[in-house]
Structure formats: C-alpha cells, structure tokens
Amino acid sequence: MSVDLVLHWLSIAAIAGGILFSIVGGLGLLRLPDFFSRMHAGGITDTLGAMLIISGLMLQAGLSLATVKLATILFFLLVTSPTAAHALARSALSHGLRPLVDEDGEERPSTN
C-alpha cells in the first residue's frame, strides 16, 4: 500500500466526516428548542465540519501553495467562527433573550 493511497483515503474520510458533522449541525439548527441551543449546535459543528473538510482538501493538495492557502483559511475559520458565535450569543443575552429553563433552573425538555 503506497503513501499516496493512504493519503487519498485519509482525505476522503476527513471530507466525509466534515460533511457528516455539517449535516448533523443543520439538523440541530432545525430540531433544537431555543436560540442558544441552536447557536451551540451551529457553532460547534460549523467549526469542526469546516476543519475536517479543509484538512481533507489539504491532504489532497499535497505540499503546494494551495495547502498554504487552505491552512490560512482554516486558521481564520477557527478564530472567527467561535468568536462570532460568542458575540451573537452575548448580544442576544444583552437584548433580553434568555435561555429556555424551568422554574428550578433546570433545562426543560423539548416539546417536539
């Protein structure tokens, strides 16, 4: 088994994993009960899905200028995506939107 074949299958696995995480994140955005749960699902799966997809593309590109460009994009995604999710959640809290909780402070189960 050659190194090229191993890199090929690793890149396919990373891209497929990224696609899977992105789809699960999209389903989480549709199914979760409140804004903050949806923000968590979207922020986590967006970052992880993009990281896996770009990592798979970097494995496909080999050592080239395209890999450097993909690494730069990955760095900015890893920095900006969680920061944007945090800023959006803080803004929602400061404008009066509260997380969905019971009277005891416990999370309520979803009504779906």
From 23, 22, 38, select the one nearest 110 (Cα to Cα). 38
Question: pLDDT digits over 45-103, tens only?
Answer: 889 999 999 999 999 998 999 999 999 999 999 999 999 999 999 999 899 888 887 66
In angstroms, how far is CA 106 from the centroid of its own chain?
Answer: 26
For residue 34, name the pLDDT band (cuts at 50, 70, 90).
confident
Is the pTM higher than 0.85? Answer: no
Q: Give the Cα separation of 51 and 25 in Å (integer).
A: 14
DSSP designation for 110:
P
Does 109 have pLDDT greater than 50?
yes
Does 11 have pLDDT greater than 90?
yes
Asked if residues 85 and 42 have their Cβ atoms less than 8 Å apart, the reply is yes
pLDDT, greater one: 104 or 40: 40
* pLDDT value at residue 112: 47
Does 40 have pLDDT greater than 60?
yes
